[in-house]
Structure 1
Amino acid sequence: MTVITESTSTSEVYLSRVQEVLAEAAQAELPAVLRAAKTVADTFDRDGILYVFGSGHSHVFAEEAFYRAGGSARISPILQDDYMLHVSAQRSTELERQEGHAEDILGHYPIRSGVDAMLVVSNSGSNALPIEVALAAKRRDLPVIAITSVAYARSTSAPGRRLHDVADIVLDNHCPPGDALVSIAPGLPKAGPGSSAVGIALLNAVIVEALALQSEGGAQPDIYLSAGMPGAAEHNRALADRFRDRIPHI
Protein backbone atom coordinates (compact mmCIF):
# COMPACT_ATOMS: atom_id res chain seq x y z
CA MET A 1 0.00 0.00 0.00
CA THR A 2 1.24 3.48 -0.86
CA VAL A 3 2.18 5.58 2.18
CA ILE A 4 0.53 8.96 1.56
CA THR A 5 2.82 11.97 2.05
CA GLU A 6 2.77 15.54 0.80
CA SER A 7 4.89 14.47 -2.17
CA THR A 8 2.67 11.54 -3.16
CA SER A 9 1.11 12.13 -6.56
CA THR A 10 -2.62 11.84 -7.04
CA SER A 11 -2.02 9.08 -9.57
CA GLU A 12 -0.14 7.08 -6.92
CA VAL A 13 -3.03 7.56 -4.51
CA TYR A 14 -5.49 6.38 -7.15
CA LEU A 15 -3.47 3.30 -8.11
CA SER A 16 -3.02 2.44 -4.45
CA ARG A 17 -6.76 2.72 -3.84
CA VAL A 18 -7.52 0.48 -6.82
CA GLN A 19 -5.06 -2.10 -5.48
CA GLU A 20 -6.67 -1.95 -2.04
CA VAL A 21 -10.21 -2.38 -3.34
CA LEU A 22 -9.17 -5.16 -5.72
CA ALA A 23 -7.33 -7.00 -2.93
CA GLU A 24 -10.36 -6.68 -0.66
CA ALA A 25 -12.73 -7.91 -3.36
CA ALA A 26 -10.43 -10.74 -4.42
CA GLN A 27 -10.31 -12.11 -0.89
CA ALA A 28 -13.93 -11.57 0.06
CA GLU A 29 -15.48 -12.62 -3.24
CA LEU A 30 -13.42 -15.72 -4.00
CA PRO A 31 -16.19 -18.12 -2.87
CA ALA A 32 -18.65 -16.31 -5.16
CA VAL A 33 -16.12 -16.36 -8.00
CA LEU A 34 -15.78 -20.12 -7.63
CA ARG A 35 -19.55 -20.61 -7.58
CA ALA A 36 -19.95 -18.40 -10.64
CA ALA A 37 -17.17 -20.25 -12.45
CA LYS A 38 -18.85 -23.59 -11.75
CA THR A 39 -22.10 -22.23 -13.15
CA VAL A 40 -20.32 -20.97 -16.28
CA ALA A 41 -18.37 -24.23 -16.74
CA ASP A 42 -21.61 -26.21 -16.45
CA THR A 43 -23.17 -23.90 -19.04
CA PHE A 44 -20.28 -24.43 -21.45
CA ASP A 45 -20.33 -28.20 -20.86
CA ARG A 46 -23.98 -28.38 -21.94
CA ASP A 47 -23.09 -26.49 -25.13
CA GLY A 48 -24.40 -23.21 -23.74
CA ILE A 49 -23.47 -19.56 -24.18
CA LEU A 50 -22.72 -17.00 -21.47
CA TYR A 51 -24.47 -13.74 -22.29
CA VAL A 52 -23.00 -10.58 -20.77
CA PHE A 53 -25.04 -7.39 -20.37
CA GLY A 54 -24.35 -3.95 -18.99
CA SER A 55 -25.74 -0.55 -19.92
CA GLY A 56 -23.91 2.77 -19.92
CA HIS A 57 -20.26 2.30 -18.97
CA SER A 58 -20.99 -1.24 -17.84
CA HIS A 59 -21.32 -2.33 -21.47
CA VAL A 60 -17.51 -2.45 -21.54
CA PHE A 61 -17.75 -5.71 -19.58
CA ALA A 62 -19.61 -7.31 -22.48
CA GLU A 63 -16.97 -6.10 -24.93
CA GLU A 64 -14.12 -7.19 -22.65
CA ALA A 65 -15.38 -10.76 -22.51
CA PHE A 66 -16.17 -11.07 -26.23
CA TYR A 67 -13.83 -12.40 -28.94
CA ARG A 68 -10.99 -11.89 -26.49
CA ALA A 69 -7.44 -13.17 -26.57
CA GLY A 70 -7.31 -15.74 -23.79
CA GLY A 71 -11.07 -15.63 -23.43
CA SER A 72 -13.84 -18.10 -24.09
CA ALA A 73 -15.42 -18.33 -27.53
CA ARG A 74 -18.72 -19.20 -25.81
CA ILE A 75 -19.45 -15.64 -24.70
CA SER A 76 -21.97 -13.38 -26.40
CA PRO A 77 -22.09 -9.68 -25.59
CA ILE A 78 -25.46 -7.98 -25.49
CA LEU A 79 -24.73 -4.76 -27.33
CA GLN A 80 -27.62 -2.55 -28.44
CA ASP A 81 -26.53 0.89 -29.57
CA ASP A 82 -29.11 3.03 -27.77
CA TYR A 83 -28.08 1.60 -24.40
CA MET A 84 -24.37 2.26 -24.91
CA LEU A 85 -22.51 5.58 -24.82
CA HIS A 86 -21.38 6.19 -28.40
CA VAL A 87 -24.80 7.17 -29.78
CA SER A 88 -25.83 9.48 -26.94
CA ALA A 89 -24.36 9.26 -23.46
CA GLN A 90 -27.22 11.23 -21.95
CA ARG A 91 -29.86 9.16 -23.69
CA SER A 92 -28.31 5.87 -22.61
CA THR A 93 -28.32 7.12 -19.02
CA GLU A 94 -32.02 7.95 -19.33
CA LEU A 95 -32.90 4.60 -20.92
CA GLU A 96 -31.17 2.46 -18.30
CA ARG A 97 -33.40 4.05 -15.68
CA GLN A 98 -36.62 3.29 -17.59
CA GLU A 99 -38.71 0.14 -17.35
CA GLY A 100 -39.92 -1.97 -20.24
CA HIS A 101 -36.83 -2.34 -22.47
CA ALA A 102 -35.40 -5.71 -21.46
CA GLU A 103 -37.55 -8.02 -23.58
CA ASP A 104 -36.90 -6.02 -26.73
CA ILE A 105 -33.13 -6.11 -26.09
CA LEU A 106 -33.02 -9.84 -25.38
CA GLY A 107 -35.19 -10.53 -28.41
CA HIS A 108 -32.17 -9.85 -30.64
CA TYR A 109 -30.37 -12.92 -29.27
CA PRO A 110 -31.02 -16.68 -29.70
CA ILE A 111 -31.11 -17.36 -25.96
CA ARG A 112 -31.93 -20.98 -25.09
CA SER A 113 -33.93 -21.59 -21.94
CA GLY A 114 -32.29 -23.94 -19.49
CA VAL A 115 -29.08 -24.05 -21.54
CA ASP A 116 -27.44 -20.63 -21.51
CA ALA A 117 -26.43 -18.30 -18.65
CA MET A 118 -26.55 -14.54 -18.07
CA LEU A 119 -24.06 -12.19 -16.42
CA VAL A 120 -25.40 -8.70 -15.68
CA VAL A 121 -23.23 -5.76 -14.63
CA SER A 122 -24.50 -2.65 -12.86
CA ASN A 123 -22.29 -0.75 -10.47
CA SER A 124 -25.16 1.07 -8.75
CA GLY A 125 -27.31 -2.05 -8.87
CA SER A 126 -30.46 0.08 -8.78
CA ASN A 127 -31.20 1.03 -12.40
CA ALA A 128 -34.32 -0.51 -13.90
CA LEU A 129 -32.83 -1.95 -17.09
CA PRO A 130 -30.14 -4.31 -15.72
CA ILE A 131 -32.57 -5.54 -13.06
CA GLU A 132 -35.20 -6.21 -15.74
CA VAL A 133 -32.64 -8.03 -17.90
CA ALA A 134 -31.76 -10.23 -14.92
CA LEU A 135 -35.43 -10.98 -14.24
CA ALA A 136 -36.09 -11.70 -17.93
CA ALA A 137 -33.16 -14.13 -17.95
CA LYS A 138 -34.52 -15.90 -14.88
CA ARG A 139 -37.91 -16.27 -16.59
CA ARG A 140 -36.00 -18.07 -19.35
CA ASP A 141 -34.56 -20.44 -16.75
CA LEU A 142 -31.05 -19.00 -17.04
CA PRO A 143 -28.76 -18.76 -14.01
CA VAL A 144 -27.95 -15.09 -13.39
CA ILE A 145 -24.58 -13.81 -12.16
CA ALA A 146 -24.23 -10.15 -11.15
CA ILE A 147 -21.24 -7.85 -10.76
CA THR A 148 -22.25 -4.84 -8.70
CA SER A 149 -21.44 -2.66 -5.72
CA VAL A 150 -23.68 -3.75 -2.89
CA ALA A 151 -22.73 -0.68 -0.84
CA TYR A 152 -23.71 1.61 -3.70
CA ALA A 153 -26.98 -0.23 -4.28
CA ARG A 154 -27.92 0.06 -0.62
CA SER A 155 -27.13 3.78 -0.56
CA THR A 156 -29.43 4.84 -3.40
CA SER A 157 -32.99 6.05 -2.94
CA ALA A 158 -34.38 4.46 -6.11
CA PRO A 159 -37.49 2.39 -5.41
CA GLY A 160 -37.71 -1.36 -5.90
CA ARG A 161 -35.35 -4.28 -5.79
CA ARG A 162 -31.62 -4.16 -6.37
CA LEU A 163 -29.59 -6.30 -8.74
CA HIS A 164 -28.00 -8.18 -5.85
CA ASP A 165 -31.51 -9.11 -4.64
CA VAL A 166 -32.37 -10.66 -8.01
CA ALA A 167 -29.20 -12.49 -9.10
CA ASP A 168 -28.42 -16.09 -8.21
CA ILE A 169 -24.73 -15.33 -7.62
CA VAL A 170 -23.41 -11.88 -6.67
CA LEU A 171 -19.86 -10.62 -7.15
CA ASP A 172 -19.48 -7.47 -5.06
CA ASN A 173 -16.80 -5.12 -6.43
CA HIS A 174 -16.46 -3.46 -2.99
CA CYS A 175 -16.37 0.00 -4.57
CA PRO A 176 -17.91 2.85 -2.55
CA PRO A 177 -21.15 4.65 -3.40
CA GLY A 178 -20.43 7.02 -6.27
CA ASP A 179 -17.51 4.82 -7.41
CA ALA A 180 -14.84 7.55 -7.37
CA LEU A 181 -11.87 6.75 -5.12
CA VAL A 182 -9.75 9.91 -4.84
CA SER A 183 -10.28 13.34 -3.29
CA ILE A 184 -8.69 15.96 -5.55
CA ALA A 185 -9.34 19.17 -3.64
CA PRO A 186 -11.88 20.61 -1.19
CA GLY A 187 -15.14 21.47 -2.92
CA LEU A 188 -14.54 19.18 -5.90
CA PRO A 189 -16.26 15.85 -6.54
CA LYS A 190 -14.10 12.79 -6.00
CA ALA A 191 -12.43 11.36 -9.12
CA GLY A 192 -10.95 8.06 -10.24
CA PRO A 193 -13.55 5.30 -10.70
CA GLY A 194 -12.67 1.81 -9.56
CA SER A 195 -15.61 -0.34 -10.63
CA SER A 196 -14.32 -1.22 -14.10
CA ALA A 197 -10.81 -2.16 -12.98
CA VAL A 198 -12.06 -4.33 -10.12
CA GLY A 199 -15.14 -5.70 -11.85
CA ILE A 200 -13.32 -6.74 -15.01
CA ALA A 201 -10.72 -8.56 -12.90
CA LEU A 202 -13.56 -10.47 -11.21
CA LEU A 203 -15.13 -11.20 -14.60
CA ASN A 204 -11.92 -12.63 -16.03
CA ALA A 205 -11.32 -14.62 -12.84
CA VAL A 206 -14.69 -16.31 -13.35
CA ILE A 207 -13.92 -17.07 -16.99
CA VAL A 208 -10.44 -18.54 -16.47
CA GLU A 209 -11.67 -20.64 -13.55
CA ALA A 210 -14.56 -21.92 -15.68
CA LEU A 211 -12.17 -22.88 -18.49
CA ALA A 212 -9.92 -24.65 -15.99
CA LEU A 213 -12.89 -26.57 -14.59
CA GLN A 214 -13.82 -27.68 -18.09
CA SER A 215 -10.29 -28.89 -18.71
CA GLU A 216 -10.14 -30.72 -15.38
CA GLY A 217 -13.39 -32.44 -16.32
CA GLY A 218 -11.94 -33.73 -19.57
CA ALA A 219 -13.51 -31.17 -21.92
CA GLN A 220 -11.63 -29.08 -24.46
CA PRO A 221 -12.34 -25.41 -23.65
CA ASP A 222 -12.95 -23.05 -26.58
CA ILE A 223 -10.32 -20.32 -26.12
CA TYR A 224 -9.40 -17.56 -28.55
CA LEU A 225 -5.76 -16.84 -29.32
CA SER A 226 -4.29 -13.36 -29.62
CA ALA A 227 -4.34 -12.40 -33.30
CA GLY A 228 -0.56 -11.92 -33.29
CA MET A 229 0.21 -15.50 -32.21
CA PRO A 230 1.27 -18.24 -34.64
CA GLY A 231 -1.74 -20.06 -36.08
CA ALA A 232 -4.20 -17.63 -34.49
CA ALA A 233 -6.00 -16.70 -37.70
CA GLU A 234 -6.95 -20.28 -38.52
CA HIS A 235 -7.70 -21.20 -34.90
CA ASN A 236 -9.91 -18.16 -34.28
CA ARG A 237 -11.68 -18.46 -37.65
CA ALA A 238 -12.67 -22.03 -36.85
CA LEU A 239 -14.09 -21.00 -33.47
CA ALA A 240 -15.92 -18.02 -34.95
CA ASP A 241 -17.47 -20.21 -37.64
CA ARG A 242 -18.71 -22.67 -34.99
CA PHE A 243 -20.52 -20.00 -33.00
CA ARG A 244 -21.50 -17.51 -35.70
CA ASP A 245 -25.16 -18.57 -35.71
CA ARG A 246 -25.44 -18.28 -31.94
CA ILE A 247 -23.45 -15.09 -31.28
CA PRO A 248 -24.82 -12.29 -33.48
CA HIS A 249 -21.86 -9.92 -33.10
CA ILE A 250 -19.31 -12.32 -34.63
Structure 2
Amino acid sequence: MFGAFDEQVRTRLSALQSVAQSGGLDEAIDLMVDSIGDNGVLQAFGTGHSQAFAMEIAGRAGGLIPTHAIALRDTVLKGERPAGDLVGGLLERDSDIADELWELHDFQPQDVFLIASNSGVNGSIVGIALRAKEEGHKVIAVTSLEHTRAVTPKHPSGKRLSEIADVVIDNLAPFGDATVSVGAVSAGAVSSITAAYIAQLLTLATATRIQATGETPPLYLSANIPGGDEHNDALKAHYGERIGSMA
Protein backbone atom coordinates (compact mmCIF):
# COMPACT_ATOMS: atom_id res chain seq x y z
CA MET A 1 0.00 0.00 0.00
CA PHE A 2 2.60 2.57 1.09
CA GLY A 3 4.97 1.44 -1.63
CA ALA A 4 2.25 1.79 -4.26
CA PHE A 5 1.53 5.37 -3.20
CA ASP A 6 5.23 6.18 -3.05
CA GLU A 7 5.57 5.01 -6.64
CA GLN A 8 2.59 7.11 -7.75
CA VAL A 9 4.07 10.23 -6.15
CA ARG A 10 7.67 9.68 -7.21
CA THR A 11 6.72 8.97 -10.81
CA ARG A 12 4.79 12.22 -11.06
CA LEU A 13 7.42 14.36 -9.34
CA SER A 14 10.09 12.90 -11.60
CA ALA A 15 7.95 13.70 -14.64
CA LEU A 16 7.47 17.28 -13.45
CA GLN A 17 11.19 17.66 -12.93
CA SER A 18 11.75 16.49 -16.50
CA VAL A 19 9.20 19.05 -17.70
CA ALA A 20 11.09 21.78 -15.86
CA GLN A 21 14.50 20.61 -17.07
CA SER A 22 13.32 20.59 -20.68
CA GLY A 23 12.02 24.16 -20.46
CA GLY A 24 8.35 23.28 -20.03
CA LEU A 25 7.93 25.84 -17.25
CA ASP A 26 9.94 28.60 -18.90
CA GLU A 27 6.95 30.53 -20.22
CA ALA A 28 5.47 30.75 -16.74
CA ILE A 29 8.84 31.68 -15.24
CA ASP A 30 9.26 34.44 -17.83
CA LEU A 31 5.91 35.94 -16.83
CA MET A 32 6.80 35.80 -13.14
CA VAL A 33 10.24 37.36 -13.59
CA ASP A 34 8.86 40.13 -15.79
CA SER A 35 6.09 40.88 -13.30
CA ILE A 36 8.48 41.20 -10.37
CA GLY A 37 10.84 43.29 -12.49
CA ASP A 38 7.96 45.66 -13.25
CA ASN A 39 7.10 46.01 -9.55
CA GLY A 40 4.23 43.57 -9.91
CA VAL A 41 2.83 41.08 -7.43
CA LEU A 42 2.19 37.41 -8.12
CA GLN A 43 -1.46 36.83 -7.25
CA ALA A 44 -2.16 33.23 -6.21
CA PHE A 45 -5.64 31.74 -5.98
CA GLY A 46 -7.04 28.33 -5.21
CA THR A 47 -10.10 26.95 -3.47
CA GLY A 48 -10.62 23.74 -1.54
CA HIS A 49 -7.37 21.79 -1.33
CA SER A 50 -5.89 23.95 -4.05
CA GLN A 51 -5.52 26.67 -1.43
CA ALA A 52 -2.37 24.76 -0.54
CA PHE A 53 -0.85 25.87 -3.85
CA ALA A 54 -1.53 29.53 -3.05
CA MET A 55 0.08 29.03 0.37
CA GLU A 56 3.19 27.59 -1.28
CA ILE A 57 3.42 30.58 -3.62
CA ALA A 58 2.64 33.38 -1.16
CA GLY A 59 4.04 34.32 2.22
CA ARG A 60 6.21 31.36 3.17
CA ALA A 61 9.87 30.90 4.11
CA GLY A 62 11.97 30.56 0.97
CA GLY A 63 9.19 32.07 -1.10
CA LEU A 64 9.05 35.26 -3.11
CA ILE A 65 8.02 38.36 -1.18
CA PRO A 66 6.02 40.10 -3.96
CA THR A 67 3.26 37.51 -3.69
CA HIS A 68 -0.31 37.59 -2.43
CA ALA A 69 -2.87 34.86 -1.78
CA ILE A 70 -6.50 35.52 -2.69
CA ALA A 71 -8.97 33.45 -0.66
CA LEU A 72 -12.72 33.01 -0.53
CA ARG A 73 -12.59 33.93 3.16
CA ASP A 74 -11.60 37.44 2.06
CA THR A 75 -15.29 38.05 1.40
CA VAL A 76 -15.82 37.68 5.16
CA LEU A 77 -12.58 39.14 6.53
CA LYS A 78 -12.44 42.10 4.14
CA GLY A 79 -15.99 42.15 2.80
CA GLU A 80 -19.43 42.01 4.33
CA ARG A 81 -20.41 38.36 4.04
CA PRO A 82 -21.33 36.48 7.24
CA ALA A 83 -18.93 33.74 8.33
CA GLY A 84 -21.64 31.16 7.74
CA ASP A 85 -21.25 31.65 3.99
CA LEU A 86 -17.91 29.85 4.21
CA VAL A 87 -19.55 26.62 5.37
CA GLY A 88 -19.69 23.95 2.69
CA GLY A 89 -18.56 24.40 -0.89
CA LEU A 90 -21.14 26.85 -2.23
CA LEU A 91 -18.79 29.84 -2.59
CA GLU A 92 -16.30 27.71 -4.50
CA ARG A 93 -18.95 27.05 -7.12
CA ASP A 94 -20.38 30.58 -7.15
CA SER A 95 -19.77 32.18 -10.54
CA ASP A 96 -20.47 35.67 -9.20
CA ILE A 97 -17.99 35.61 -6.32
CA ALA A 98 -15.11 36.62 -8.60
CA ASP A 99 -16.31 40.20 -8.98
CA GLU A 100 -16.89 40.45 -5.24
CA LEU A 101 -13.37 39.21 -4.53
CA TRP A 102 -11.87 41.49 -7.15
CA GLU A 103 -13.15 44.66 -5.50
CA LEU A 104 -11.52 43.70 -2.17
CA HIS A 105 -7.95 43.87 -3.46
CA ASP A 106 -5.54 46.33 -5.04
CA PHE A 107 -4.49 44.64 -8.26
CA GLN A 108 -2.02 46.43 -10.51
CA PRO A 109 -1.68 45.98 -14.32
CA GLN A 110 1.68 44.24 -14.03
CA ASP A 111 0.40 41.59 -11.60
CA VAL A 112 0.35 37.99 -12.84
CA PHE A 113 -2.26 35.50 -11.62
CA LEU A 114 -1.35 31.93 -10.67
CA ILE A 115 -4.56 29.94 -10.32
CA ALA A 116 -4.70 26.33 -9.16
CA SER A 117 -7.64 23.98 -9.49
CA ASN A 118 -7.49 20.24 -9.98
CA SER A 119 -10.82 20.13 -11.82
CA GLY A 120 -10.50 23.62 -13.32
CA VAL A 121 -14.25 24.01 -13.74
CA ASN A 122 -15.71 25.55 -10.57
CA GLY A 123 -17.39 28.93 -10.87
CA SER A 124 -15.08 30.92 -8.60
CA ILE A 125 -11.93 29.62 -10.29
CA VAL A 126 -13.12 30.25 -13.83
CA GLY A 127 -14.61 33.57 -12.77
CA ILE A 128 -11.34 34.90 -11.36
CA ALA A 129 -9.43 33.71 -14.44
CA LEU A 130 -11.90 35.42 -16.77
CA ARG A 131 -11.87 38.66 -14.76
CA ALA A 132 -8.07 38.67 -14.70
CA LYS A 133 -7.95 38.29 -18.48
CA GLU A 134 -10.60 40.97 -18.96
CA GLU A 135 -8.46 43.33 -16.89
CA GLY A 136 -5.38 42.59 -19.03
CA HIS A 137 -3.47 40.29 -16.67
CA LYS A 138 -1.53 37.20 -17.64
CA VAL A 139 -2.84 33.97 -16.10
CA ILE A 140 -0.88 30.83 -15.24
CA ALA A 141 -3.03 27.76 -14.54
CA VAL A 142 -2.09 24.65 -12.57
CA THR A 143 -4.67 21.95 -13.19
CA SER A 144 -5.17 18.27 -13.99
CA LEU A 145 -5.63 18.05 -17.73
CA GLU A 146 -6.87 14.48 -17.42
CA HIS A 147 -9.55 15.49 -14.93
CA THR A 148 -10.65 18.78 -16.45
CA ARG A 149 -11.13 17.26 -19.89
CA ALA A 150 -13.42 14.61 -18.39
CA VAL A 151 -15.84 16.93 -16.60
CA THR A 152 -18.36 19.60 -17.58
CA PRO A 153 -17.58 23.27 -16.85
CA LYS A 154 -19.78 24.82 -14.13
CA HIS A 155 -19.30 28.47 -15.09
CA PRO A 156 -21.95 30.08 -17.34
CA SER A 157 -19.21 30.82 -19.89
CA GLY A 158 -18.83 27.10 -20.48
CA LYS A 159 -15.07 27.48 -20.15
CA ARG A 160 -12.45 25.61 -18.20
CA LEU A 161 -9.49 27.25 -16.45
CA SER A 162 -7.18 25.57 -18.95
CA GLU A 163 -9.04 27.24 -21.83
CA ILE A 164 -8.58 30.73 -20.38
CA ALA A 165 -5.01 30.77 -19.10
CA ASP A 166 -2.01 32.05 -21.05
CA VAL A 167 0.10 29.22 -19.63
CA VAL A 168 -1.19 25.83 -18.49
CA ILE A 169 0.82 23.53 -16.22
CA ASP A 170 -0.49 19.98 -15.85
CA ASN A 171 -0.29 18.79 -12.24
CA LEU A 172 -0.42 15.21 -13.57
CA ALA A 173 -3.12 14.12 -11.13
CA PRO A 174 -5.45 11.42 -12.48
CA PHE A 175 -9.20 11.78 -12.90
CA GLY A 176 -10.60 11.80 -9.37
CA ASP A 177 -7.16 12.61 -7.87
CA ALA A 178 -6.81 9.35 -5.88
CA THR A 179 -4.16 6.91 -7.10
CA VAL A 180 -4.31 3.69 -5.07
CA SER A 181 -7.23 1.26 -5.18
CA VAL A 182 -8.69 0.26 -1.81
CA GLY A 183 -11.23 -2.33 -2.79
CA ALA A 184 -14.00 -0.68 -4.78
CA VAL A 185 -12.76 2.85 -4.01
CA SER A 186 -9.43 4.70 -4.10
CA ALA A 187 -7.24 6.81 -1.81
CA GLY A 188 -3.86 8.47 -2.06
CA ALA A 189 -4.68 11.84 -3.64
CA VAL A 190 -1.70 13.52 -5.31
CA SER A 191 -2.82 16.91 -6.64
CA SER A 192 -1.80 18.83 -3.50
CA ILE A 193 1.64 17.22 -3.57
CA THR A 194 2.31 17.86 -7.24
CA ALA A 195 0.91 21.39 -7.09
CA ALA A 196 3.16 22.23 -4.14
CA TYR A 197 6.13 20.85 -6.07
CA ILE A 198 5.21 22.98 -9.09
CA ALA A 199 4.95 26.04 -6.86
CA GLN A 200 8.43 25.42 -5.51
CA LEU A 201 9.90 24.77 -8.96
CA LEU A 202 8.45 28.07 -10.19
CA THR A 203 9.70 29.94 -7.12
CA LEU A 204 13.20 28.50 -7.31
CA ALA A 205 13.54 29.11 -11.04
CA THR A 206 12.23 32.67 -10.76
CA ALA A 207 14.63 33.47 -7.92
CA THR A 208 17.53 31.93 -9.82
CA ARG A 209 16.69 33.93 -12.94
CA ILE A 210 16.62 37.17 -10.90
CA GLN A 211 19.91 36.30 -9.22
CA ALA A 212 21.51 35.74 -12.63
CA THR A 213 20.86 39.39 -13.48
CA GLY A 214 22.96 40.46 -10.52
CA GLU A 215 19.99 41.29 -8.30
CA THR A 216 19.26 39.68 -4.94
CA PRO A 217 16.00 37.73 -5.20
CA PRO A 218 13.31 39.11 -2.86
CA LEU A 219 12.84 35.98 -0.78
CA TYR A 220 11.33 35.47 2.65
CA LEU A 221 13.51 34.21 5.46
CA SER A 222 11.87 32.07 8.11
CA ALA A 223 10.41 34.28 10.82
CA ASN A 224 11.66 31.66 13.26
CA ILE A 225 15.35 32.39 12.72
CA PRO A 226 17.29 35.38 14.12
CA GLY A 227 16.89 38.42 11.88
CA GLY A 228 14.08 36.86 9.87
CA ASP A 229 11.41 39.39 10.78
CA GLU A 230 13.72 42.33 10.17
CA HIS A 231 14.74 41.04 6.74
CA ASN A 232 11.16 40.31 5.72
CA ASP A 233 9.65 43.51 7.07
CA ALA A 234 12.16 45.68 5.21
CA LEU A 235 11.26 44.09 1.87
CA LYS A 236 7.53 43.80 2.56
CA ALA A 237 7.30 47.53 3.27
CA HIS A 238 7.87 48.25 -0.42
CA TYR A 239 4.63 46.48 -1.39
CA GLY A 240 2.51 47.37 1.63
CA GLU A 241 -1.09 46.15 1.59
CA ARG A 242 -0.67 44.82 -1.96
CA ILE A 243 0.77 41.64 -0.45
CA GLY A 244 -1.57 41.57 2.56
CA SER A 245 -0.94 41.80 6.26
CA MET A 246 -3.19 39.18 7.84
CA ALA A 247 -2.02 35.80 9.11
> Equivalent residue for 1:14?
5
Unaligned regions of 5+ residues in structure 2, if any? 77-82
> Equivalent residue for 2:166?
168
Conserved 8 A contact 2:140-2:167: yes
Residue 242 of structure 1 deviates from its aligned partner by 2.5
**Which among 19, 26, 32 is matched to residue 34 of structure 1?**
26
SS at match of 2:31: helix
Say whether 1:147 aligns with 2:142. Answer: yes
> Equivalent residue for 1:50?
42
Unaligned regions of 5+ residues in structure 1, if any? 1-9
SS at match of 1:135: helix
Say whether 1:210 aligns with 2:206. Answer: yes
- Equivalenced residues, count: 236
Amino acid at match of 2:58: F
**Which among 48, 52, 58 is matched to residue 60 of structure 1?**
52
Q: TM-score, normalised by structure 1?
A: 0.87
SS at match of 1:32: coil
Residue 21 of structure 1 deviates from its aligned partner by 1.7
SS at match of 2:51: helix
Conserved 8 A contact 1:55-1:92: no
| Partners of 1:89 and 1:16 in 2: CA distance | 39
Conserved 8 A contact 1:146-1:169: yes
| Partners of 2:111 and 2:24 in 1: CA distance | 19
| Partners of 2:69 and 2:26 in 1: CA distance | 22
> Equivalent residue for 1:24?
15
Residue 233 of structure 1 deviates from its aligned partner by 2.4
SS at match of 1:206: helix
| Partners of 2:53 and 2:85 in 1: CA distance | 17
**Which among 200, 217, 229 is matched to residue 221 of structure 1?**
217
Indicate the larger mover: 157-166 or 192-201: 157-166
Residue 180 of structure 1 deviates from its aligned partner by 0.3
- How well do the aligned residues superpose, as a CA RMSD in angstroms? 2.1
Amino acid at match of 1:117: V
Matches within 5 A, 1:114-129: 115-129=110-124
Conserved 8 A contact 2:72-2:92: no
> Equivalent residue for 2:73?
81
Give CA-to-partner distance per residue, 1:57-109, whole Å, 9 cap, x none: 1112112222211110000000231789xx67984522222211101112111
Indicate the larger mover: 156-165 or 135-144: 156-165
> Equivalent residue for 1:248?
244
Conserved 8 A contact 2:74-2:101: no
> Equivalent residue for 2:80?
none
Say whether 1:136 aligns with 2:131. Answer: yes
Identity %: 31
| Partners of 2:201 and 2:137 in 1: CA distance | 21
Conserved 8 A contact 1:55-1:83: no
Amino acid at match of 2:180: V
Amino acid at match of 1:245: E
Give CA-to-partner distance per residue, 1:91-133, whole Å, 9 cap, x none: 45222222111011121110012x1110000101111211111
